[in-house]
Structure formats: C-alpha cells, structure tokens
A and B are shown apart, each in its own frame.
Chain A
Amino acid sequence: MIDYIARRLLVMIPTLFIISVLVFVIIQLPPGDYLETLVAELQSQGEAVSQERIAFYRQEYGLGEPIWKQFAVWFWGLLQGNMGYSFEYEMPVADVVGDRIWLTILVSFSTILFIYLVSFPIGVYSAVRQYSLGDYTLTFIGFIGLATPNFLLALILMYLANQWFGISIGGLVDPALRDAPFSLEKLLDILGHLWVPVIVIGTAGTAGMIRRLRANLLDELHKQYVTTARAKGVPPRKLLMKYPLRMALNPFIADIGNLLPEIISGAAIVSVVLSLETTGPMLLGALQSQDMYLAGSFLMALALLTVVGNLLSDLALAALDPRIRLGAEAAR
C-alpha cells in the first residue's frame, strides 16, 4: 500500500508541473502584458504612473524578461506558496483568495455528500425495481436534471427559496454577518444558505451517479451467483446487501475523480448567478479585467484541488479493493 501511495504521489509531480505550464500559457495568452495596459490606461486618464509600482510589478513577475524566466519566477513563487500579486486588488493573491478557497471546498464537499446521500438509495431502488413506475419517474427526473443548465436551475431555485423561505437573495452569508468574525451563528447561517447551491450543483452529478449505480447493480444482479443464492433461499434483502451492492459500490468511490472537476465547474457558474463568496465570481471578474495572475492562481488552486481529490479517491479505492493496488499496475 505504501508503495502504491508513493507511486501515486510521484505521478502527481509531473502532472502538476504540466498543469502549471498550461496555466502560465493561458495567463500569457491575452495580447500585451498587464503593465502596458495599466500604463496606457493611467496615462489616458491623465494620471501619473507611479514608478515605484511599475518597478514593483517588474520585479515581482520579471516582466520584460524572457518568457521562460517569467515562468520560473511565477513557478518558484507558487512552490513557496506565494500565489502572486493581484493587479486589480493591489494585494497578494493569497489574501484575496483566502476565505474563498475554504468556502469553495465547503461547497464542493457538501455537494459530494449530497450526491452520495441522494443517489445511493435512488440508484438501488431503480435497479431493484427495474421498469417500475418509480424507476421510470426517477429516471425521467434524472434526465431532466442532466439536461437543465446549472445556471437556470440556480435562478429558479433562488427565486423559489426567496419566495417561500425568505432566504436572502444571493450570497452564502447573511449581509448582516458578512464581516462578522467566525462564530457558531455565522456557521449556522452559512449552512442555512448552503442548500440552494448544493442542490443546484449536485443535480447533474446525482443524475449521472444514479444512472451509473443502476447500470452497475443491474449487471451484477443478472449474474449467476445471485441466481444461485436466490435458489438456495437467501432472503432478498440480505442477498442484495451482502454481494451485488458491494460490487456496485466501486464506482461510487472511483467517480470522485470525475465528479470533482464537474462539481467545481458547476460551482463556478452557479456561484456567479447566486453571487456566492466562492472562487467562481472572482475568477470571472479576474478574467474579465484580465487580472491574469489572480486568474492563474485560481485556476491553479482549482486544479490542485481536483488532483488532490483524485488522489484521495484513488487511495480510498485502493484501500477498499486490493485488486486495484496490486493487479492493475502489475498487469499493465
């Protein structure tokens, strides 16, 4: 197992490096660098350009240096946990991002939890009662969930939440508590707001998960050992719990790898619509104002989150299923 963990960790290094190169390329894509834009903008407004500021940026990012050197400066900073400096906010990215990353993690985690809690019973039900009215209804709802754009769902649910429960529109925290220090009251308030985005982001994932669990369980239920067990008189419930369900569970863990990027993607757009204090709206703002280092750090943080999430899911899977850590690698 330790071998396996070590191998997985080693693989992560080149992956993260390539991701950082990609992110840097994306940062550099817009024509001109930020300084030129800034200077031109300030001059057009007739403002004097602070030489200190320009010198500061120059030094911080190695602007004007060859491109590989700029990358080295940026990458070295990342390694030290220095995510760069936001041009727009005029403060270190880490300070700007701070809470937002935690809220993003909170939202993502709750969404995964939601997906599991909802899709598990429904998936099992649909498989065991295949072609029943309930199965058809749930499958249909699942399809609708899969096909509805997230932001539309967010708009509608936000409207309903406001109409029926009087929850403040947008945001994860009540405006009164926004600047308050962290307390139990604030935590409860956040939890009270959390359910709208969680449902919205989780719908598509839930629908997908139900479909997969149903298909897997159906495959398993049609195998001969199930027939044998049934013929020998094992009670249906015990039979289901004991064998096929366990076999069908693997994708539940393995799919975190697919779910996580999906959830973070979904969260990005949903939080723009709901104006949550997560990374989404800020990333959008940074992209629109071409505050590329801020945007780059966000992308990097999100990718890191996904890679780590994948790692965790792989480890969990390996712990559950010895075939994976022993067989799959050896067979390759």
Chain B
Amino acid sequence: MSGSEPGENRLPARGADPLDHYVDTAPFDPEAAVRLSPEQERFYLSGQWRLMWLKFKKHRLAVVSGLFLLLVYGSILVSEMLAPVAYDFRNTDFLKAPPQEIHWVRDGAFTGPYVHGYDVSLDMETMSWRYTIDRETVMPLRFFCTGGDYPGARYEFWGLVESSFHVVCPSEGGYFYWLGTDRLGRDMLSRIIQGARISLTVGLIGVAISFTLGVLLGGLAGYYGGLIDSTVQRAIEVVRSFPSLPLWMALSAAMPVNWSPIIVFMGISVILGLLDWPGLARAVRSKLLALREEDFVTAAELMGARPRRIIARHLLPSFSSHLIASATLTIPAMILGETALSFLGLGLRPPITSWGVLLNEAQNFNAIVNTPWLLYPAVPVILVVLAFQFLGDGLRDAADPYK
C-alpha cells in the first residue's frame, strides 16, 4: 500500500499534515449494521427448494397429510400382508356379517385384543341371516402370523408368490371381520386395504397423463402464442365446457366389454387424465406468458438456445413448484372420479377391487338400512381426498417462498 511509484502517491507521506477528512483504517465489514446469526445466514443463502421445504414444514396440517399419504401409498406395496384375509376369499358361512367389535378386557382382566364369535341363524320371514354375538366364543387376535391355519389365509402376493403371512390375523380356525363382510362373505377390511392399490394408482397415472398433456400444450401455447395459442385456447374451452362426469361416463361406456380388467383399468386412468389437463395447461400458459418477457429468456435466445431448451431448462424450473402443487390438487378429483364411475358400474369391474367398486355394492337404499358397513370404503376415500387437499394447499403456499 505504500505509494512508491509516481502517480500512485495518494497517501500523505509519513509525518506530513493529516488529511482533512477522517479515514478509518479498520477493514470494511459489510455486516456491521445487522449481524446475522449462523441460522439466519443459512436461511438467506439457501436455495429455492430449501426455502420451500422450510415454509412447507410450517404448515402442520400439510405435513401430517403428507405423512399420512406416504403411509397409505406405502401400504399398497404390501396390501395382501396387511389384510387379515385374502380379499377375494368367500366365507359362505358368514354372508353380510356385521362388524365384529374388538375387546381388550375380559372379566375385568386385560387380555389383549380378541373378538367374539357369531351365532348365525336364518330368519325365515325375511329370508336373511341374523347374527347375534356369542359371548362364550373368544378368539384372540394374533400378530405376524404365518401359519395359514384359518379360512382365507392363503393369498398370492401381487398375484405371483403364494404366501400366508399376515400382520394381523384371527385365532387358529377362527375369523375376524372387523368391518363386516359383503354379500358374498368377503372381508370388508381386507377388500378396502386391497382396493387402495387400484384407487390410489388411478389418480397417479391419470395425473401423470394430464400433467404431460397440460405442460406440453400449455407450454407450446404460452411460448409461441399466435395461432398455436388460440388453437390450444379453443381446445381448452371445448374440453372445459363438457360436464366431466357425463363425458367420462360416455367414454368408459364406449370401452369394449371384452377388454380384460387390467386394460379397463388403464383405460379409465387414461380417460380421467385426458379430460383433466385444461386446468394445468392454463396455469402453464399464463406463467409462461409472464416469464418469457424476462431478461434471462432474451439472453438465452441471443445465445442461440432453441425453444425446447429454453422451455425445458429455463422456464419450467422457474415454476415447477407451482406445477407440483396444482398437480397434487388434481389427484383428489381423479380419485373421486374413479369412485363415481365405478359406483355407477361404468368404471372398473370386478374382479378388480377399488373403493368405487366396493361402494357399488352399497348403491341402493336397502344397503344403507340393512348393511351400513358396506359404506365403509367411503371413509378412506374422504380421508385420502382431504389429505391431498391439505397437502396441495401446503405445497401451493410453499411454492412461492419469496412471498
């Protein structure tokens, strides 16, 4: 810092008169005014996704819903093990049996969970089975059993490997129908657990399709504008002016009857997805319209980036969080749609088991009066839809962490 060269001699020579204004010799500290704690510093320096995560975590309900959904989606991997009975096993001794209550205490002493048996008699007047609880029979529940020593214990895991492992199961030779049985004597609890596999994946596949379509069409419309934009706009308007359910009904009724259940399942997912993209396409389009005026897009264009690269590398990441949030919010509509279609008998058909297929049994008025437990599959539908709604709300709030 010594001014030895000529022309660089800014500081006065040693011993000369002081400068007429004061210069602090201490090194400059930009944080002198506001000192950031390490946490604050980490917060200010963290990237977009981390900020979102921090904001999302504050939304308690959304976090709980997310965990719940993880659990439920995890369960579809091992549905057969969680179900106490094979979902398609018909116990002809217990048709339309009411739910069994789980008891914990017997004669004043804690015994662990057990259920009472039924006394079955045929009511000759109404020609229906009448069930009374037989307090003498006690069937303790077992956990992590592999014996396969009760009716309906054997199943094929994912239709491939035969097994008889269950997380919960009745006592040897006993039965356990916590949520009752349907008209063919099949366990409702097991069927609900099994139905989750189909009902939940329909939503995912449908969303994947509508997501792809929405991003593609919305992206094209928003980026190019002009003719493409007005075509897509018109298409959106057409699809939106159809009441979705009647259209779903028509499309699924048009599926040939001789299609195998799996293809029907795929078909339904595609139908649900095909009609759901306009909302997403609109969101993508309006976001793109706003973003393409930004400087970084002009910069990329000037550097010779092609539209595909600009859309995929520069534009999409800037609002992908919004996309994820809105996709999450469309899944419940799909799940409800599948349920409604199957309920009407136009969607999935047995032997495929989904919540809608199960509810199809509870279609008429008598079902509610005589066998109200057939309505239980509605409970997971409501819970899952609610959870997606809360999760989606949380994600949407978190999607814009700078706000």
**A159 in contact with B343 given A22-B238, A268-B249 (CB within 8 Å):** no
Pairwise interchain contact B241-A19, C-beta atoms closer than 8 A: yes
B234 touches A29 (CB 8 A): no
Q: Are A143 and B243 in contact (CB under 8 A)?
A: no
What residues on B are CB-neighbors of A26 within 8 Å?
247, 250-251, 254
A283 lies within 8 A of B249 (CB): yes
CA distance A146 to B333 in the complex (A): 10
Asked if A312 is at the interface of the complex by the 8 Å CB criterion, the answer is no
Report the nearest B residue to A289, measured CB to CB: B253
B336 contacts partner chain A, Cβ-Cβ < 8 Å: yes
**Chain B residues with CB under 8 A of A143:** 386, 389-390
| In the complex, A290 has a CB within 8 A of chain B | yes
Q: Are A264 and B382 in contact (CB under 8 A)?
A: no
Instruction: Kindly state the separation between the CA atoms of A150 and B244 in the bound complex, as whole angstroms.
Output: 14
Query: Does B196 belong to the interface (CB within 8 Å)?
Result: no
CB pair A18–B254 under 8 Å, yes or no, is: no
Q: Which listed residue, B253, B365, B389, touches A290 by the CB 8 Å rule?
A: B253
* Given contacts A15-B238, A22-B238, A269-B344, A159 and B365 within 8 Å (CB-CB): yes
Residue-wise, chain B 361-401 has the 8 Å CB interface mask toward A (1 for contact) of: 01101001100000100100110011001100000000000
In the complex, what's the smallest C-beta–C-beta distance from B280 to chain A, in angstroms? 15
Q: A144-B386, A287-B253 are in contact. Are A265 and B378 (CB under 8 A)?
A: no
A272 to B381 Cα, complex, angstroms: 20
Q: 8 Å CB contacts to A: which residues of B188-236?
A: 234-235
**Residues of B with C-beta under 8 A to A307:** 241
| A298 lies within 8 A of chain B by Cβ | yes
Give chain B's interface residue range (CB within 8 Å of chain A): 35 or more
Q: Are A19 and B238 in contact (CB under 8 A)?
A: yes
Chain A nearest CB from B340 CB (Å) reads: 5
- Contact (Cβ within 8 A) A159 B368: yes
Q: Does A30 count as interface, using CB distance less than 8 angstroms?
A: yes
The answer, yes or no, to whether B180 is at the interface (CB within 8 Å) is no
Q: Does A306 contact B (CB under 8 A)?
A: yes
Name the interface residues of A194-228: CB closer than 8 Å to any CB of B.
none
Q: Is A149 close to B, CB under 8 A?
A: yes
User: B389 touching A269 by the CB < 8 A rule?
Assistant: no
Is A273 in contact with chain B by the CB < 8 A criterion?
Answer: yes
15 A-B residue pairings within 8 Å (CB atoms): A18-B238, A26-B247, A29-B251, A144-B382, A146-B385, A148-B382, A151-B359, A152-B359, A264-B246, A265-B243, A268-B245, A268-B246, A288-B253, A299-B246, A306-B243
Chain B contact residues, CB within 8 Å of chain A: 234-235, 237-238, 240-247, 249-251, 253-254, 256, 332, 336, 339-340, 343-346, 359, 362-363, 365, 368-369, 375, 378, 381-382, 385-386, 389-390
Q: Which A positions have Cβ atoms within 8 angstroms of B? A: 14-15, 18-19, 22, 26, 29-31, 143-144, 146-152, 155-156, 158-159, 169-170, 257, 260-262, 264-266, 268-269, 272-273, 280, 283-284, 287-288, 290, 295, 298-299, 302-303, 306-307, 310
Extra contacts besides A147-B332, A299-B246, A299-B247 (16): CB < 8 Å: A19-B242, A22-B238, A29-B254, A147-B385, A151-B340, A152-B359, A155-B362, A155-B375, A262-B243, A264-B246, A269-B343, A284-B344, A288-B345, A302-B246, A306-B242, A310-B241
Per CB-CB distance, the 6 closest pairs between chain A and chain B, nearest first, are A265-B245, A29-B254, A287-B253, A264-B243, A147-B385, A261-B243
